[in-house]
Amino acid sequence: MNILVINAGSSSLKYQLFEIGKEEVLAKGLVERIGIEGSKLTHTAKGKEKLEITEPMSDHKQAMGYVLRALTDKQYGIIKDMDEINAVGHRVLHAAEKFSDSVVINDAVMDAIRDCIKFGPLHNPANLMGIEACRATMPNTPMVAVFDTAFHQTMPKKAYLYGLSYDAYKEHGIRRYGFHGTSHKYVASRMPALMGKDKKDLKLIICHLGNGSSLSAVDGGKCVDTSMGLTPLAGVVMGTRCGDIDPAIVPHLMKEMKLDSDQMSDYMNKKCGVLGLSGISSDFRDLSKAAAEGSERAEMALEVFAYSVKKYIGAYAAAMGGVNAIVFTAGIGENDSNMRARCCEGLEFLGVKLDGELNKIRGKEQRISAPDSRVEVWCVPTNEELMIAMDTYELCK
Ligand code: ADP
Question: Per-residue pLDDT tens for 55-87?
Answer: 999 999 999 999 999 999 999 999 999 999 999
Output the CA 329–ligand 1 centroid distance in Å: 10
> pLDDT band for position 88 (50/70/90)?
very high
Q: Does residue 9 line the site of ligand 1, with CB under 6 A?
A: no
Q: Does residue 239 line the site of ligand 1, with CB under 6 A?
A: yes
Calculate the alpha carbon distances from 36 to 205, 295, 305, 340 in Å.
Answer: 41, 38, 35, 39
Q: Does residue 284 line the site of ligand 1, with CB under 6 A?
A: yes
Output the CA 289–ligand 1 centroid distance in Å: 14
Tell me whether domains 2-147 and 197-379 share a fold.
yes
Ligand 1 atom 1: the closest Cα is on which residue?
211
Residue 233, pLDDT score: 96
Rounded Cα–Cα distance for residues 313 and 169 (Å): 27
In the CATH scheme, what is the code of domain 2-147? 3.30.420.40
> pLDDT band for position 170 (50/70/90)?
very high
Q: How far apart are the first and last CA of the chain?
A: 8
Boundaries of every domain in the chain: 2-147, 197-379
Instruction: Work out the burial of residue 37: count CB atoms within 10 Å of its CB; fewer than 13 is exposed, 13-18 middle, 19 or more buried.
Output: exposed
Residue 22, pLDDT score: 87
Check: CB of residue 275 under 8 Å from CB of residue 305: no
Q: Does residue 333 line the site of ligand 1, with CB under 6 A?
A: no
Rounded Cα–Cα distance for residues 339 and 267 (Å): 26
138-145: average pLDDT: 96
Q: Does residue 7 line the site of ligand 1, with CB under 6 A?
A: no
Give the distance, in angstroms, between the CA of residue 104 and the centroid of all CA atoms in the same chain: 21
Q: Does residue 276 line the site of ligand 1, with CB under 6 A?
A: no
Output the CA 177–ligand 1 centroid distance in Å: 24
In the CATH scheme, what is the code of domain 197-379? 3.30.420.40
Looking at ligand 1, which atom is closest to the CA of residue 382? 6
Ligand 1 atom 14: the closest Cα is on which residue?
283
Q: Write out the catalytic residue numbers.
A: 148
Nearest to 308 by CA among 172, 224, 207: 207
pLDDT surpasses 90 at 23:
no
Output the CA 316–ligand 1 centroid distance in Å: 24
- Provide DSSP, 77-88: -SSSSGGG--EE
Residue 172, pLDDT score: 97
Q: Which residues pair with 25 in a beta bridge?
A: 18
Give the distance, in angstroms, between the CA of residue 316 and the centroid of all CA atoms in the same chain: 19
Q: Which of 336, 359, 362 to mutate to test the pocket of ligand 1 (most atoms within 8 A of CB)?
A: 336
Q: Does residue 118 line the site of ligand 1, with CB under 6 A?
A: no
Rounded Cα–Cα distance for residues 354 and 374 (Å): 11
Looking at ligand 1, which atom is closest to the CA of residue 210? 9
pTM for this prediction: 0.96
Reported as a single tens digit per residue, the pLDDT across 196-255 is 999 999 999 999 999 999 999 999 999 999 999 999 999 999 999 999 999 999 999 999
